[in-house]
Amino acid sequence: MRETMWIYGIILLFVAAVWSDLGINPITSVTSNTTTASSIEVYVTRNETFNLGSHVNLTCSNGTWHEMNYIIWKIALKNRRCRLNSDAGGPVQNSCNDGKSLQNTSSAQSYLHIPNISTDDEGVYKCEASHKGGGDAIEFRVSVSVQPSLSAWLERQGGKRVAVCKAQRGRPAASVVWRNLRNSSFAPEVKTQLGSDGSYTVESRMELTNDSDAENLTCAVSHVYWKEEQILDLTTTEADHHGPSSPGKITLVVIVFLVLFAVFVGFIYFAQKWLIRFRHAWRSQSSPSKTPPPEDVEEVEPYASYMQRVNSIYNTPADVFT
C-alpha cells in the first residue's frame, strides 16, 4: 500500500515538472485574464450641461487624427442607442442618423459634434480612443438646460399684500430669492412643481406687513442657463395687477365677450334688413312707368268734330262743287 502511494507521488511530481517546462499554469492564466478584462471598463466620468438649442462639441482625446488608431463613441439616449466609430484613415461609421458627426479641429483633433441640442439628446456618451501616445476612455453624462419664463407682481389676498415671483417651465429648477425686503418677519413660501415634460415651475410668495416697503423690493432668479442672476421689479401695483387670473375673472371675461359678440351680430342682421328695404323703396320711386296712361276718348272726339266743322266753312267754291 505504501509502495503504491509512493508511486502516485512520483507520478504527480513528474507531471508538474513537465507542465513547468512547457510554461503551462492554468490558475495563473485565468487570474490574469480576469484582471485584464476588468481594466477595460474604467472610464473618467464628466457631467456636462448645455443650453437648449446650442451647438455642442465633445472632445475625447488630445491625440490628433493622424496619430489615432481608432475612436469609438457609444451613445445611450432615453429612447435609443447609437454608435459612431472610425479606424485610422478609414471612413466614419454612423448609426445615429440625427445630425451627430465626427469632425476635426484645425489642428486635426477629433471631436463629436451635436448640432442644435435638444432634450432628446440627453444621455450617456462613452468614448474610447487609441493613439500613438496611449489611450483615453471618457464617459460624458449630458443634460440640457431650458430657460425659465419669469414674472413678478404684487397682489391682494384676504386683505393682505403678497409679493409673488414665478419662474415657469425651466430645466432644472430655478432658485428664487427676495432682495431689499425691509420690516417683514414673514418667511417666503416657495412651491416647486414638476411638469409632465420634465420642466419645473418655482413660485415664491412673500406676505408683506403694512409698514413693509415694497417699492424697492426685487426678486432675484438664478439658473444654470444664465451666467448672471436675473432681477425682477414689482412693476404692477395692487390696483393694476395683471398676474394670473382667478377662474371667476376668466368666466366673467368670457361672458362679457359673448354678450358683446351677440349684440354685434344682431346689429349687423337688422342693419342688413333695413338696407334691403331702403333699396327696394328707392328703386320703386325712381323707375319710370312701363305703359303710358290711356287718353280720354270722350274729350278728344268733340274737339276733332269741331275742327272738321270749322274747316268746312273755309273751303273754296271749287272744293264745294267738286
Chain segment 135-171, per-residue pLDDT in tens: 889 999 999 999 999 999 998 888 888 999 999 999 9
pLDDT band (50, 70, 90) for residue 322: very low
- The pTM (predicted TM-score) of the whole model is 0.58
pLDDT band (50, 70, 90) for residue 14: low
User: Which residue in the block uniquely carries the three cell numbers 425691509?
Assistant: 182
Do 135 and 129 form a contact (C-beta atoms < 8 A)? yes
Do 192 and 173 form a contact (C-beta atoms < 8 A)? yes
**CATH class of the domain whose range is 41-145:** mainly beta
Amino acid at 246: S
**Cα separation, 222 vs 202, whole angstroms:** 11
Query: What pLDDT, on the 0 to 100 scale, is given for residue 280?
Result: 74
Give domain 149-239's CATH superfamily: Immunoglobulins (2.60.40.10)
Residue 241 clears pLDDT 50, i.e. is over it: no
3-class SS at 120? helix
**What distances in angstroms separate CA 62 from CA 68, 72, 109, 136, one per listed residue?**
10, 14, 7, 9
Q: Per-residue pLDDT tens for 103-138? A: 988 888 889 999 999 999 999 999 999 888 788 899
**DSSP H or E segment with residue 272:** helix 247-286
**What mean pLDDT comes out for the span 254-262?**
85
Nearest to residue 90, comparing CAs of 106, 62, 117, 110?
Answer: 110
Query: What pLDDT, on the 0 to 100 scale, is given for residue 23?
Result: 43
Nearest to residue 69, comparing CAs of 112, 123, 129, 5?
Answer: 129
The C-alpha angle 50, 79, 46, rounded to 5 degrees, equals 35
Domain(s) labelled CATH 2.60.40.10 in the chain stretch across: 41-145, 149-239
**What mean pLDDT comes out for the span 90-97?**
90
Dihedral pair phi/psi, residue 44, rounded to 5°: -85, 120
Dihedral pair phi/psi, residue 4, rounded to 5°: -65, -40
At 268, list the grid cell. Answer: 349687423
Q: Give the percent of the chain with pLDDT over 90.
A: 38
Query: What pLDDT, on the 0 to 100 scale, is given for residue 238?
Result: 43
Q: Are strands 134-145 and 44-51 parallel, antiparallel or unpaired?
A: parallel
